[in-house]
Amino acid sequence: MRRYWHPVGYSSELTGTGQTKRVRILGEELVLARTGSGALLLVQERCPHRGASLLYGFVEGTNLRCAYHGWLYNQAGECIERPFESEKTNRIYKKMIKSYPTRECGGLIFAYLGPAADKPAFPNWDILIRQDGVRHFEVQDDLACNWLQIQENAVDVTHTYYLHSKYFERLGLNDGSGFGKSFKRFGFQRFDWGIDMSLLQRYCRRICQTSS
């Protein structure tokens, strides 16, 4: 999972210089900050000095200063200033905190949390870079589970009839999804790297339509 770019936020969440946001991903507590240049900085949340949260840090230029005693960190995760420390100890500490590269594209903020040598090219998906339409985001609450669990559930096609349709019925809501049509049969479109979900969804829809 660390060999991929992951979405960690929306551009609209960090519109102004100095804004920060807590990010929990792949078991890590991180802080994302909009710096003065409009760039982004993604570092571990806890300052290694006394454990203060960098969520409350002050952005200075392209750096983030801890709000507790003022240690200053750059985008590479180096501590470049330690106020009130002796001259001898106040030198640049290489890679003192974890930091990760980010990329902003199509209104989303992505991060890469893997080894630098294995960093893949950024996926320029058409939905992110096309300019000939309207891009619409639906922001939902965080789900308290691993991303893979959501994908695994998507392959479990028969859950849609009861969970998405019958449950709506019980709530007295109108289900416009088409999931209320029962399955006569279902299958999977395999390819070299697993299952093609887009084909699977089209296939299921067709089955639903032909069974009606």
From the list 28, 67, 25, 59, the residue with the least C-alpha distance to 45 is: 28
49 counts as binding ligand FES under rule CB under 6 A? yes
- How far apart are CB 74 and ligand FES at their closest, in Å? 15
From the list 194, 197, 116, the residue with the least C-alpha distance to 156 is: 197
- How far apart are CB 196 and ligand FES at their closest, in Å? 48
47 counts as binding ligand FES under rule CB under 6 A? yes
Does an H or E element contain 104, and which?
strand 102-105
**Burial letters 101-127, b for 16+ CB under 10 A, else e:** bbebbbebbbbbbbeeeeeeeeeeeee
66 counts as binding ligand FES under rule CB under 6 A? yes
68 counts as binding ligand FES under rule CB under 6 A? yes
Number of residues that bind ligand FES (CB under 6 A): 9
Pairing of β 40-44 and β 102-105: unpaired
73 counts as binding ligand FES under rule CB under 6 A? no
HSE-up of residue 195 (Cα within 13 Å, Cβ side):
14
CA distance linking residue 168 with residue 175, whole number of Å: 6
5 counts as binding ligand FES under rule CB under 6 A? no
Contact letters (x/-) for ligand FES, 167-206, by CB under 6 A? ----------------------------------------
- How far apart are CB 8 and ligand FES at their closest, in Å? 22
- How far apart are CB 202 and ligand FES at their closest, in Å? 52
- How far apart are CB 80 and ligand FES at their closest, in Å? 13
The 102-105 sheet, strands edge to edge: 5-10, 108-112, 102-105
Applying CB under 6 A, the residues found at the interface with ligand FES are: 47, 49-50, 52, 66, 68-71
